[in-house]
Amino acid sequence: MSTKLDIFSDPVCPWCYIGKARLERALEQRPDHPFIIEWHPFMLAPDMPPEGMDRREYLQAKFGPPEQVAKLHVPILEACEEIGLPLALEKMERNPSTLNAHRLIHWAGLEGRQHAVVSALFRANFAEGRDIGDRAVLLDIAEAAGLDRAMIARLLDSDADVADIRARDAEIRARGLRGVPGFLLGRQYVLSGAQPVETWLDVIDQIAAASA
Q: Are strands 94-95 and 35-41 parallel, antiparallel or unpaired?
A: unpaired
State how far the Cα of 24 lies from the Cα of 58, in Å rounded to an integer: 30
Q: What is the mean pLDDT of the chain?
A: 97
pLDDT band at 52 (very low <50, low <70, confident <90, very high): very high
Angle at 88 (CA atoms; ends 86, 90), nearest 5 degrees:
165
What would the pLDDT profile of 66-110 be if each residue is shown by its tens digit?
Answer: 999 999 999 999 999 999 999 999 999 999 999 999 999 999 999
pLDDT value of residue 1: 82
Per-position b or e across 86-110, b if 16+ CB within 10 A of its CB: ebeeeebebbbbbbbbbbbbbbbbe
What are the domain boundaries of the chain? Answer: 3-210
Tell me how far apart the alpha carbons of residues 10 and 47 are, in angstroms, rounded to a whole number.
Answer: 14
As its CATH architecture, domain 3-210 has 3-Layer(aba) Sandwich (3.40)
40 forms beta bridges with 8
Quick: pLDDT tens for 130-156. Answer: 999 999 999 999 999 999 999 999 999
